[in-house]
A = this chain, B = another copy of it.
Amino acid sequence: MKSAVGVDVGGTFIKVGLVRGSRVLRQEVLSTASFSGPVSCARGIASAVRLLLQGPGGSIIGVGVGMPGLVSYPKGVVHSAVNLPGRWKEVPFGPMLRRALHCPVHVDNDVNLMALAEWKLGAGRGTKNLLCLTLGTGVGGGLVLEGRLYRGEKGVAGEVGHIPVSQEGPRCNCGGRGCLERYVGNREMVEWVKRELVRGRKSRITQLVQGDLKRLTPEVIDRACRMNDPLAKQTWRRVGFLIGFALSGVVNLIAPERIVVGGGVAEAGEPLLKAIRQTLRQRSMKGVRDVSVVPARLGSAAGMIGAALLVQGVGKEQ
């Protein structure tokens, strides 16, 4: 397998890696905030690619890019990317990079590429129908159906985070109400724990943040959980129940063979996965309720690896 460059554009970092298979041979990490908009961002990525190619193994077949936004895959047009600086609206990002780099460039949604990577080289290997979840600030999803990356109309499929879990829940940025993400996103999860603590609930979390609730993060909850703290354990049970509740409908609809859970929050591991599995067993239909729910395997490199796979022709539109 030849090398390719995989680019993972995130709200904080842009990772540019020289990738062979599931190995990232070398990488450059750029700060997203250092770019003012699409043009400077494309320039920055092009420089990083050139830098990578100066070293050994620097011959590539192309560049793949995962974007945190709405992407029209075959054209490489970014319709929107609200978490990036500058104005991302109908940006022909693929063609821009192609002109700068003089090589094939493929652009797709970042979670699609994470799903592609986990399916081909990670925790989803060997499956035909796979759902990938990422849990972080937002809740994202990617689908591989019948052995192909599924993009849906306009490439916007897989938005697991915007499956509603309550008819009268809080408004969501997406325009809906009661979306899963509004309950289990990083911020919302932390807010829920804060409210419990403010209400007088005792927990080791208070010590861990030394009384300063501003220091509360999912990692702290995770640490408290490992210390058997009841509130922390309840937090994962609650998050796991809500994810499982949303997924029970997905499982009844799509009947996937496996569900891969990745992203920062997923670091909680078994306590979270157990709660998801339990909810699925209680809520989904016979025949599908025992779907395996496993942690992602490629970690934070999945985005780069998936982007590089796209260049290899894996996940290309059939």
**Partner-B contacts on A (CB < 8 A):** 70, 79, 129, 141, 143, 145-146, 148, 150-160, 162-167, 174-177, 245-246, 248-250, 252-257, 282-289, 291, 318
Contact = CB atoms under 8 A, between A and B. Distances in A.
A264 to B, nearest CB: 22
Contacts of A129: 152-153
Contacts of A318: 146
A278 to B, nearest CB: 13
A165 to B, nearest CB: 7
A148 B129 CA distance: 14
A253 B164 contact: no
A221 to B, nearest CB: 22
Given A129-B152, A162-B285, A246 B249 contact: yes
Given A255-B154, A255-B156, A283 B165 contact: no
A176 to B, nearest CB: 5
A141 B148 CA distance: 22
11 contacts: A154-B255, A154-B287, A156-B287, A160-B252, A160-B253, A163-B252, A163-B253, A167-B245, A174-B252, A175-B282, A175-B283
A159 B256 contact: no
A315 to B, nearest CB: 13
Contacts of A150: 145-146, 254
Contact of A286 (B148, B160, B174, B283): B174
Query: Copies of this chain, how many?
Result: 2
B159 A285 contact: yes
Of residues A153, A164, A250, A282, which shows the largest number of chain B Cβ atoms within 10 Å of its Cβ? A153
Contacts of A167: 165-166, 245
Given A150-B145, A167-B166, A254 B157 contact: yes
Contacts of A252: 159-160, 162-163, 174, 176
Contacts of A154: 255, 287-288
A54 B152 CA distance: 46
B156 A70 contact: no
B285 A174 contact: yes
A174 to B, nearest CB: 5
Contacts of A246: 249
Given A153-B256, A254-B152, A175 B285 contact: yes
A234 B167 CA distance: 18
A78 to B, nearest CB: 13
A283 B146 contact: no
A93 to B, nearest CB: 18
Contacts of A141: 253
